[in-house]
Structure 1
Amino acid sequence: MPDDDPTAAPVSRETALRADCANCFGLCCVALTLTASADFAINKEAGTPCPNLADDFRCGIHTRLRNEGFSGCTVYDCFGAGQKVSQETYAGRDWRSAPDTAQQMFQVFPVMRQLHELLWYLTEALTLPAASRVHPDLQDALAETERLTRLPAGELAELDVSAHRDRTAALLLRAGELERATVPRRAKRSRRGADLIGARLRGADLRGAELRGAYLIAADLRGADLRRAELIGADFRDADLSDADLTGALFLTQAQVNAAKGNAATRLPDSLTRPAHWAGNRSGRA
């Protein structure tokens, strides 16, 4: 395990916070529960390997996941927690060759995933110019979160990660408010946690809108303007983002984008990649 070095370089979203399946022991394929649904073709209990997991910890149907009924797998993002647990917390000892680590490793993985998601949000918040007054507090929260990711496995398994999330959420909320306030003629009505399932929002001006935790499942957002909208925790499953502009959208994640529909004209933040399954997809970023 690496030393707890306070002078270490800040985490990079381009490396440490992106999933590297080649250096993971297939943890999302084992540690998580699957429920037969439109997202998963089978029921699977947490701690039980998916039958599609190969001996080398790769997915045996990776290129056919959607066709085989596992679209949920193509949406999931561990924010780099898989390789962190596999290569750092457990120093390369996998749960097959060291079965005594398995139960604890499967407990640690979802905790690490939450911490890495927080690192993603905090790193973004520190790039927001209008949130400069809370940057010192955000930096402290980032350092503390990074420290927690380096805890020994036993301490990670017992960590009250929910309490840490709650403390961090207040800072992220303030950072988002400050940044959205810079958007001229922004949508001022808060839609935090709003039920917008199937909503007809085609061409809507949602610049600077607060959509934190909103349910946008199957919403029609074709051509909508979501620039600088705060989207942390918003549910975009099957939402149509074709021709929409999400440039500079706040706290948008790859998992949210992967869950939505879109096309080659959908504009995304530079930090995110256009999903391969989107209509008219062009490879590479938006």
Structure 2
Amino acid sequence: MGFYVDIAEALDAEGIESRVNDGTLFVPVSEDLEIQFVDITGGTGVPGANVFLAMADVAEDDEEFEAALVGVVFSVEDAVSTVARYVATDLVVGTVRDLIEGTDPRIADLEFVQDPVDALTVSAEVGENSEIVVTFDGESETPAARVQFVTLGEDFEDLMGQAVAEFWGEDADDEDPEPEDDPTGASDSDRRRILEGIAHDIADMTEEVLELGSYTDFDRLFDVLQVAGEQAEAWEELLVPLENFWEDEDDADDDGEDDYDGDAASVD
């Protein structure tokens, strides 16, 4: 029991409860999830434990229930790190679910959807042509969420129209490009995939991104998301491409240089 005692004491120091029952150390991760350590210390005397992930509060006579082996630890440090990692993962998964389901009143006006490729990224459309993007770091023992406000540049629609017209013909509809005589011979699914690729590429070229910070306090995260939803339309109007800003500055400098040269000539 020495290994269990050492793990339990280390977890207690981190504010994490645990209990031993029938030779297994149980560590609750959430109301629905728990970690189980099963001692495998053998003749070598090297302490070790199999790590199982299991649903909490499952009846002992449930024959269909099986805990899943997810790792093995050979030190107290590894055990504490494993628990911290799963606690963090559970927090991230729960927060993503709260965002998608809109359970917090602070985001009642935001409809978040999960990214089809990255399950730890969610986004909500706001304003006229923008979105709030939240990306979670699920690998660290201290989970964090990065928040971005992304708005498509004012040239997006024009560039999309040009690209679609060039690809499918001048009469193609950029929302549902199905010209009668498609020169590419592409199927409907191929055309849709090509259109999505074009839209993605043009969005990368024209979008403006406003960084709203990274947060380890997820309650603070919801406060920030509420503010972002309220400020979306104002931010859309205020954001301009930085290259335009520098061009304006360059123009001003050029004008200043011209004026200076003129003044100098007049003085001479």
Give the structure-2-normalised TM-score.
Answer: 0.27
Instruction: Please say which structure displays the higher CA radius of gyration.
Output: 2
Q: Which has the higher strand share?
A: 2
